[in-house]
Structure 1
Amino acid sequence: MTTVYVADTGVFVRCGGPEKDKFQRLRRAVRQAGISLRIPQRVYEELGGDTAAEEYPSGDVPYSAGIRSGWIVVADELDYTNPLVSTVMDETRRFIASETDRDEDRIEKADTALVGLAGQLLDAGEADRVVLLTTDKPAGRAAVTLLPNHGFEDCLDFRYVSEAVLETITADEFR
Protein backbone atom coordinates (compact mmCIF):
# COMPACT_ATOMS: atom_id res chain seq x y z
CA MET A 1 0.00 0.00 0.00
CA THR A 2 1.38 3.37 -1.03
CA THR A 3 0.69 6.22 1.39
CA VAL A 4 1.45 9.79 0.35
CA TYR A 5 1.66 12.60 2.90
CA VAL A 6 0.41 15.98 1.66
CA ALA A 7 1.27 19.06 3.74
CA ASP A 8 -0.07 22.59 3.69
CA THR A 9 1.64 25.93 4.23
CA GLY A 10 0.49 26.20 7.84
CA VAL A 11 2.53 23.15 8.85
CA PHE A 12 5.76 24.91 7.82
CA VAL A 13 4.68 28.26 9.24
CA ARG A 14 4.01 26.62 12.61
CA CYS A 15 7.45 25.02 12.52
CA GLY A 16 9.36 28.26 12.05
CA GLY A 17 12.76 28.24 10.41
CA PRO A 18 15.44 25.55 10.25
CA GLU A 19 16.92 26.67 13.56
CA LYS A 20 13.63 26.04 15.40
CA ASP A 21 13.11 22.83 17.37
CA LYS A 22 9.72 22.11 15.77
CA PHE A 23 11.21 22.35 12.27
CA GLN A 24 14.08 20.04 13.25
CA ARG A 25 11.68 17.54 14.87
CA LEU A 26 9.46 17.43 11.78
CA ARG A 27 12.45 17.01 9.46
CA ARG A 28 13.94 14.28 11.64
CA ALA A 29 10.60 12.42 11.95
CA VAL A 30 9.97 12.50 8.20
CA ARG A 31 13.50 11.38 7.36
CA GLN A 32 13.54 8.59 9.99
CA ALA A 33 10.20 7.33 8.67
CA GLY A 34 11.66 7.23 5.16
CA ILE A 35 8.90 9.32 3.64
CA SER A 36 8.56 12.79 2.15
CA LEU A 37 5.95 15.51 2.47
CA ARG A 38 4.33 16.37 -0.84
CA ILE A 39 3.19 19.96 -1.31
CA PRO A 40 0.96 21.31 -4.10
CA GLN A 41 2.35 24.00 -6.40
CA ARG A 42 0.11 26.54 -4.64
CA VAL A 43 1.74 25.76 -1.29
CA TYR A 44 5.15 26.05 -2.93
CA GLU A 45 4.12 29.52 -4.13
CA GLU A 46 2.85 30.49 -0.67
CA LEU A 47 6.20 29.48 0.78
CA GLY A 48 7.86 31.91 -1.61
CA GLY A 49 8.99 29.30 -4.11
CA ASP A 50 7.81 31.17 -7.18
CA THR A 51 9.30 34.64 -7.38
CA ALA A 52 6.72 35.63 -10.01
CA ALA A 53 3.82 34.66 -7.73
CA GLU A 54 1.92 37.09 -5.57
CA GLU A 55 3.71 37.70 -2.27
CA TYR A 56 2.40 35.88 0.77
CA PRO A 57 3.06 36.69 4.42
CA SER A 58 4.72 33.29 4.79
CA GLY A 59 7.11 33.89 1.90
CA ASP A 60 10.12 33.93 4.21
CA VAL A 61 9.61 30.39 5.51
CA PRO A 62 12.78 28.48 4.66
CA TYR A 63 11.72 25.40 2.74
CA SER A 64 14.40 25.18 0.05
CA ALA A 65 16.80 23.04 2.11
CA GLY A 66 13.97 20.55 2.66
CA ILE A 67 13.28 20.39 -1.07
CA ARG A 68 16.97 19.99 -1.91
CA SER A 69 17.37 17.18 0.62
CA GLY A 70 14.16 15.47 -0.55
CA TRP A 71 11.98 15.41 2.54
CA ILE A 72 9.74 18.04 0.94
CA VAL A 73 8.62 17.31 -2.63
CA VAL A 74 6.80 19.82 -4.83
CA ALA A 75 4.02 17.96 -6.64
CA ASP A 76 3.46 18.24 -10.36
CA GLU A 77 0.88 20.79 -11.47
CA LEU A 78 -2.69 19.74 -10.92
CA ASP A 79 -4.44 18.37 -14.00
CA TYR A 80 -7.43 20.69 -14.22
CA THR A 81 -8.65 18.81 -17.30
CA ASN A 82 -9.29 15.81 -15.05
CA PRO A 83 -12.98 16.14 -14.11
CA LEU A 84 -12.33 14.71 -10.63
CA VAL A 85 -9.68 17.33 -9.84
CA SER A 86 -11.69 20.31 -11.06
CA THR A 87 -14.91 19.06 -9.46
CA VAL A 88 -13.41 18.29 -6.06
CA MET A 89 -11.63 21.66 -6.00
CA ASP A 90 -14.90 23.47 -6.76
CA GLU A 91 -16.70 21.42 -4.12
CA THR A 92 -13.94 22.16 -1.62
CA ARG A 93 -14.23 25.89 -2.22
CA ARG A 94 -18.00 25.74 -1.64
CA PHE A 95 -17.59 23.49 1.43
CA ILE A 96 -15.06 25.80 3.08
CA ALA A 97 -17.08 28.90 2.21
CA SER A 98 -20.18 27.37 3.75
CA GLU A 99 -18.39 26.13 6.85
CA THR A 100 -16.58 29.43 7.49
CA ASP A 101 -19.34 31.78 6.31
CA ARG A 102 -17.06 33.41 3.73
CA ASP A 103 -17.59 34.21 0.08
CA GLU A 104 -16.30 31.50 -2.24
CA ASP A 105 -13.96 33.93 -3.97
CA ARG A 106 -12.23 34.56 -0.60
CA ILE A 107 -11.16 30.93 -0.15
CA GLU A 108 -7.41 30.32 -0.47
CA LYS A 109 -6.51 28.48 -3.65
CA ALA A 110 -3.93 26.47 -1.71
CA ASP A 111 -6.75 25.02 0.42
CA THR A 112 -8.57 23.70 -2.63
CA ALA A 113 -5.26 22.52 -4.13
CA LEU A 114 -4.64 20.29 -1.10
CA VAL A 115 -7.85 18.37 -1.74
CA GLY A 116 -7.32 18.48 -5.51
CA LEU A 117 -3.87 16.95 -5.11
CA ALA A 118 -5.19 14.23 -2.81
CA GLY A 119 -7.87 13.37 -5.38
CA GLN A 120 -5.40 13.42 -8.25
CA LEU A 121 -2.96 11.11 -6.45
CA LEU A 122 -5.72 8.63 -5.64
CA ASP A 123 -7.32 8.83 -9.09
CA ALA A 124 -4.02 8.30 -10.91
CA GLY A 125 -3.13 5.34 -8.69
CA GLU A 126 -0.04 7.11 -7.35
CA ALA A 127 -1.37 6.54 -3.84
CA ASP A 128 -3.64 4.02 -2.20
CA ARG A 129 -3.95 6.30 0.80
CA VAL A 130 -3.35 10.03 1.34
CA VAL A 131 -2.66 11.59 4.71
CA LEU A 132 -3.42 15.31 4.68
CA LEU A 133 -1.36 17.25 7.21
CA THR A 134 -2.91 20.66 7.72
CA THR A 135 -3.52 23.46 10.16
CA ASP A 136 -6.74 24.25 8.32
CA LYS A 137 -9.60 22.28 9.85
CA PRO A 138 -12.21 23.25 7.22
CA ALA A 139 -9.91 22.07 4.40
CA GLY A 140 -9.29 18.80 6.24
CA ARG A 141 -12.98 18.26 6.85
CA ALA A 142 -13.69 19.03 3.19
CA ALA A 143 -11.24 16.35 2.08
CA VAL A 144 -12.63 13.58 4.30
CA THR A 145 -16.21 14.57 3.43
CA LEU A 146 -15.90 15.07 -0.34
CA LEU A 147 -13.43 12.48 -1.62
CA PRO A 148 -15.56 9.52 -0.44
CA ASN A 149 -18.35 10.93 -2.67
CA HIS A 150 -16.04 10.27 -5.63
CA GLY A 151 -15.25 6.66 -4.81
CA PHE A 152 -12.37 7.16 -2.40
CA GLU A 153 -13.82 5.83 0.81
CA ASP A 154 -11.32 5.01 3.56
CA CYS A 155 -8.47 6.37 1.43
CA LEU A 156 -7.83 9.66 3.19
CA ASP A 157 -6.84 10.73 6.69
CA PHE A 158 -6.88 14.30 7.92
CA ARG A 159 -4.40 15.11 10.67
CA TYR A 160 -4.61 18.50 12.31
CA VAL A 161 -1.07 19.72 12.94
CA SER A 162 -1.16 21.76 16.12
CA GLU A 163 1.73 23.34 18.00
CA ALA A 164 1.56 20.43 20.47
CA VAL A 165 1.85 17.85 17.66
CA LEU A 166 4.95 19.58 16.30
CA GLU A 167 6.52 19.70 19.75
CA THR A 168 6.34 15.92 20.12
CA ILE A 169 6.28 14.53 16.57
CA THR A 170 8.30 11.38 15.88
CA ALA A 171 8.74 8.96 13.00
CA ASP A 172 6.00 6.80 14.58
CA GLU A 173 3.45 9.38 13.39
CA PHE A 174 4.28 8.33 9.83
CA ARG A 175 4.36 4.56 10.23
Structure 2
Amino acid sequence: MTTVYIADTGVFVRCGGPDKDKFQRLRRALRQAGASLYVPQRVYEELGGDPAAEEYPSGNIPYPDGFEEGWITVADGLDYANPLVSTVMDEARRFIANVTDRDEDITEKADTALVGLAAQVLDTGEADHVVLLTTDKPAGRAAETLLPQHGFSDRIEFRYVSVEYLETITADEFR
Protein backbone atom coordinates (compact mmCIF):
# COMPACT_ATOMS: atom_id res chain seq x y z
CA MET A 1 0.00 0.00 0.00
CA THR A 2 1.31 3.43 -0.96
CA THR A 3 0.81 6.13 1.63
CA VAL A 4 1.28 9.83 0.97
CA TYR A 5 1.81 12.20 3.90
CA ILE A 6 0.49 15.71 3.33
CA ALA A 7 1.50 18.52 5.69
CA ASP A 8 0.27 22.05 6.24
CA THR A 9 2.18 25.20 7.12
CA GLY A 10 1.25 24.85 10.78
CA VAL A 11 3.36 21.70 11.09
CA PHE A 12 6.49 23.67 10.21
CA VAL A 13 5.49 26.67 12.30
CA ARG A 14 4.88 24.41 15.28
CA CYS A 15 8.33 22.86 14.80
CA GLY A 16 9.83 26.29 15.40
CA GLY A 17 12.46 26.19 12.67
CA PRO A 18 15.36 24.04 11.52
CA ASP A 19 17.49 24.67 14.59
CA LYS A 20 14.80 23.41 17.00
CA ASP A 21 14.53 19.90 18.47
CA LYS A 22 10.99 19.33 17.17
CA PHE A 23 12.06 20.11 13.61
CA GLN A 24 15.08 17.83 13.85
CA ARG A 25 12.96 15.04 15.36
CA LEU A 26 10.47 15.30 12.46
CA ARG A 27 13.33 15.35 9.95
CA ARG A 28 14.98 12.31 11.53
CA ALA A 29 11.71 10.33 11.69
CA LEU A 30 10.93 10.96 8.02
CA ARG A 31 14.46 10.21 6.83
CA GLN A 32 14.68 7.00 8.89
CA ALA A 33 11.34 5.85 7.47
CA GLY A 34 12.31 6.82 3.92
CA ALA A 35 9.18 8.96 3.71
CA SER A 36 8.52 12.53 2.66
CA LEU A 37 5.91 15.16 3.41
CA TYR A 38 3.99 16.47 0.43
CA VAL A 39 3.03 20.11 0.64
CA PRO A 40 0.52 21.72 -1.70
CA GLN A 41 1.73 24.67 -3.79
CA ARG A 42 -0.20 27.01 -1.45
CA VAL A 43 1.70 25.72 1.58
CA TYR A 44 4.98 26.04 -0.30
CA GLU A 45 4.09 29.67 -0.98
CA GLU A 46 3.19 30.24 2.68
CA LEU A 47 6.62 28.91 3.61
CA GLY A 48 8.13 31.58 1.35
CA GLY A 49 8.85 29.30 -1.57
CA ASP A 50 7.61 31.47 -4.40
CA PRO A 51 9.10 34.94 -4.73
CA ALA A 52 6.37 35.87 -7.24
CA ALA A 53 3.56 34.97 -4.83
CA GLU A 54 1.38 37.93 -3.91
CA GLU A 55 0.63 36.85 -0.34
CA TYR A 56 4.04 35.43 0.64
CA PRO A 57 6.64 37.09 -1.61
CA SER A 58 9.77 36.53 0.50
CA GLY A 59 11.26 33.68 -1.50
CA ASN A 60 13.31 32.95 1.60
CA ILE A 61 12.36 29.41 2.60
CA PRO A 62 13.30 28.72 6.22
CA TYR A 63 13.35 24.98 5.51
CA PRO A 64 15.57 24.61 2.40
CA ASP A 65 17.30 21.51 3.72
CA GLY A 66 14.01 19.62 3.82
CA PHE A 67 13.41 20.29 0.13
CA GLU A 68 17.02 19.64 -0.83
CA GLU A 69 17.19 16.43 1.21
CA GLY A 70 13.89 15.24 -0.25
CA TRP A 71 11.86 14.75 2.92
CA ILE A 72 9.68 17.72 1.99
CA THR A 73 8.25 17.60 -1.54
CA VAL A 74 6.18 20.22 -3.31
CA ALA A 75 3.24 18.33 -4.79
CA ASP A 76 2.12 18.74 -8.37
CA GLY A 77 -0.32 21.58 -8.88
CA LEU A 78 -3.95 20.90 -8.19
CA ASP A 79 -5.97 19.89 -11.23
CA TYR A 80 -8.96 22.21 -10.87
CA ALA A 81 -10.38 20.80 -14.12
CA ASN A 82 -10.88 17.51 -12.28
CA PRO A 83 -14.46 17.78 -10.96
CA LEU A 84 -13.59 15.73 -7.88
CA VAL A 85 -10.79 18.09 -6.84
CA SER A 86 -12.82 21.26 -7.36
CA THR A 87 -15.92 19.79 -5.70
CA VAL A 88 -14.01 18.56 -2.65
CA MET A 89 -12.28 21.90 -2.26
CA ASP A 90 -15.62 23.75 -2.43
CA GLU A 91 -17.13 21.34 0.10
CA ALA A 92 -14.10 21.72 2.37
CA ARG A 93 -14.42 25.51 2.29
CA ARG A 94 -18.09 25.25 3.31
CA PHE A 95 -17.34 22.61 5.95
CA ILE A 96 -14.55 24.68 7.53
CA ALA A 97 -16.68 27.83 7.44
CA ASN A 98 -19.55 26.01 9.16
CA VAL A 99 -17.48 24.46 11.95
CA THR A 100 -15.56 27.68 12.62
CA ASP A 101 -18.64 29.91 12.28
CA ARG A 102 -16.81 32.13 9.78
CA ASP A 103 -17.62 33.35 6.31
CA GLU A 104 -16.52 31.04 3.47
CA ASP A 105 -14.64 33.92 1.83
CA ILE A 106 -12.10 34.09 4.65
CA THR A 107 -11.35 30.37 4.74
CA GLU A 108 -7.63 29.85 4.08
CA LYS A 109 -7.00 28.61 0.56
CA ALA A 110 -4.17 26.44 1.89
CA ASP A 111 -6.68 24.58 4.09
CA THR A 112 -8.86 23.64 1.14
CA ALA A 113 -5.73 22.82 -0.89
CA LEU A 114 -4.81 20.16 1.69
CA VAL A 115 -8.14 18.42 1.17
CA GLY A 116 -7.98 18.92 -2.59
CA LEU A 117 -4.49 17.41 -2.77
CA ALA A 118 -5.61 14.41 -0.71
CA ALA A 119 -8.50 13.85 -3.14
CA GLN A 120 -6.22 14.25 -6.14
CA VAL A 121 -3.54 11.76 -5.04
CA LEU A 122 -6.22 9.20 -4.18
CA ASP A 123 -8.17 9.80 -7.38
CA THR A 124 -5.12 9.51 -9.66
CA GLY A 125 -3.89 6.37 -7.91
CA GLU A 126 -0.71 8.08 -6.75
CA ALA A 127 -1.57 6.78 -3.28
CA ASP A 128 -3.82 4.16 -1.75
CA HIS A 129 -3.90 5.99 1.56
CA VAL A 130 -3.34 9.58 2.68
CA VAL A 131 -2.26 10.79 6.09
CA LEU A 132 -2.99 14.48 6.58
CA LEU A 133 -0.70 16.07 9.15
CA THR A 134 -2.09 19.41 10.25
CA THR A 135 -2.44 21.77 13.16
CA ASP A 136 -5.83 22.78 11.76
CA LYS A 137 -8.51 20.55 13.24
CA PRO A 138 -11.35 21.85 11.00
CA ALA A 139 -9.31 21.07 7.85
CA GLY A 140 -8.47 17.61 9.16
CA ARG A 141 -12.08 16.90 10.04
CA ALA A 142 -13.16 18.15 6.62
CA ALA A 143 -10.85 15.63 4.94
CA GLU A 144 -12.01 12.75 7.14
CA THR A 145 -15.67 13.64 6.60
CA LEU A 146 -15.74 14.56 2.91
CA LEU A 147 -13.37 12.13 1.20
CA PRO A 148 -15.28 9.01 2.30
CA GLN A 149 -18.38 10.58 0.71
CA HIS A 150 -16.51 10.46 -2.60
CA GLY A 151 -15.53 6.80 -2.43
CA PHE A 152 -12.39 7.03 -0.31
CA SER A 153 -13.58 5.31 2.86
CA ASP A 154 -10.77 4.10 5.10
CA ARG A 155 -8.22 5.82 2.86
CA ILE A 156 -7.76 9.13 4.69
CA GLU A 157 -6.36 9.68 8.17
CA PHE A 158 -6.06 13.00 9.99
CA ARG A 159 -3.29 13.39 12.55
CA TYR A 160 -3.38 16.48 14.71
CA VAL A 161 0.18 17.75 15.01
CA SER A 162 0.43 18.99 18.57
CA VAL A 163 3.62 20.02 20.35
CA GLU A 164 3.51 16.67 22.17
CA TYR A 165 3.19 14.80 18.86
CA LEU A 166 6.30 16.53 17.55
CA GLU A 167 8.22 15.94 20.78
CA THR A 168 7.59 12.19 20.63
CA ILE A 169 7.51 11.48 16.88
CA THR A 170 9.50 8.53 15.55
CA ALA A 171 9.98 6.79 12.22
CA ASP A 172 7.20 4.38 13.21
CA GLU A 173 4.69 7.17 12.46
CA PHE A 174 5.68 6.90 8.80
CA ARG A 175 5.96 3.16 8.28
Give the TM-score, by structure 1 length: 0.96
1:17–1:61 contact (8 Å) kept in structure 2: no
Alignment of 1:1-175 (within 5 A): 1-56=1-56, 62-175=62-175
2:129–2:156 contact (8 Å) kept in structure 1: yes
Q: Shift of the alpha carbon at 1:52?
A: 1.3
Distance of 1:76 and 1:9 partners within structure 2: 17
Q: Shift of the alpha carbon at 1:54?
A: 2.8
Greater mean alpha carbon deviation, residues 98-107 or residues 58-67: 58-67
Distance of 1:59 and 1:16 partners within structure 2: 19
1:92–1:142 contact (8 Å) kept in structure 2: yes
Alpha-carbon RMSD: 1.5
Distance of 1:98 and 1:50 partners within structure 2: 31
Distance of 1:133 and 1:89 partners within structure 2: 17
Opposite residue 2 of structure 1, the aligned amino acid is T
Distance of 1:55 and 1:121 partners within structure 2: 26
> Which consecutive residues of structure 1, in runs of 5 or more, have no partner in the other structure?
none
State the identity %: 80
Structure 1 runs (4+) deviating above 4 angstroms are 58-61
2:51–2:59 contact (8 Å) kept in structure 1: no
Q: How many residues align?
A: 175
Distance of 1:72 and 1:4 partners within structure 2: 12
Q: Shift of the alpha carbon at 1:55?
A: 3.8
Give the TM-score, by structure 2 length: 0.96
Cα deviation digits, residues 72-106 of structure 1 (max 9, x gap): 00001000000000000000000000000000000
